[in-house]
């Protein structure tokens, strides 16, 4: 089947944007560059905090689970999605947090990636909460790669932060990249 130039141009532009590939000049010998190998622009995550988050920072454990799809991978084109779980501990409040965490990504191919890293949470002036997880794949598919996962929550129920039990869970949309 022959494709029109418009369809091919649209597909090329879509893949270029989704994969973060640009026409930039090659990196110089003294610099380090990384290639985004996997992009999952859409996903969801549900997190639980124990004890719940209040306005006073305290030692907290969090657990999370979610799914990512669609995904595009340069080196593994068969990857189209993943499910994941995460667990971590650290100082946390309703206005910010810093957790060390371990995440396990189970790709649709049956392969897994274990990621060890940090999760930070920041409350923005607009009322949105931004969670960023950055870590290194320490075992499995993409070992040695850097994973960045970003979750943006609409305004949380910040009144829960005033209670003794605190804010115990949240959920929202997220995106993920894996850079080699």
| In-domain check, residue 5 | no
Output the pLDDT for position 23.
31
Residue 10 tokens, joined: 């649209």
| In-domain check, residue 110 | yes
| In-domain check, residue 93 | yes
Q: Are the C-beta atoms of residues 151 and 172 closer than 8 Å to each other? A: yes
pLDDT tens-place string over residues 38-82: 999 999 999 999 999 999 999 999 999 999 999 999 999 999 999
Residue with tokens 């689970």: 65
Q: Total domain count for the chain?
A: 1
- Domain hosting residue 123, numbered range: 30-179
User: What residues have CB less than 8 Å from 16, skipping those under 6 apart?
Assistant: 22
Q: Are the C-beta atoms of residues 154 and 137 closer than 8 Å to each other? A: no
Residue 173 tokens, joined: 């949309």
Terminal CA-CA length for the chain: 34
| In-domain check, residue 89 | yes
pLDDT tens-place string over residues 142-161: 999 999 999 887 767 778 99
Output the pLDDT for position 150.
92
């Amino acid at each position: 089947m022959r494709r029109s130039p418009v369809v091919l141009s649209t597909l090329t532009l879509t893949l270029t944007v989704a994969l973060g590939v640009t026409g930039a000049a090659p990196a110089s010998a003294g610099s380090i560059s990384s290639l985004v190998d996997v992009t999952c622009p859409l996903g969801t995550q549900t997190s639980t905090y124990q004890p719940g988050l209040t306005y006073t920072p305290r030692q907290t454990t969090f657990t999370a689970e979610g799914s990512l799809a669609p995904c595009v991978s340069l080196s593994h084109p068969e990857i189209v999605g993943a499910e994941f779980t995460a667990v971590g501990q650290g100082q946390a409040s309703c206005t910010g947090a810093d957790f060390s965490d371990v995440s396990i990504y189970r790709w649709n191919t049956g392969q897994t990636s274990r990621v060890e890293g940090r999760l930070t949470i920041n409350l923005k002036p607009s009322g949105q909460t931004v969670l960023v997880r950055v870590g290194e794949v320490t075992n499995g598919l993409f070992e040695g790669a850097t994973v960045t996962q970003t979750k943006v929550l609409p305004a949380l129920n910040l009144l829960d932060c005033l209670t003794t039990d605190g804010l115990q869970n949240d959920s929202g949309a997220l995106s993920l990249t894996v850079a080699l």
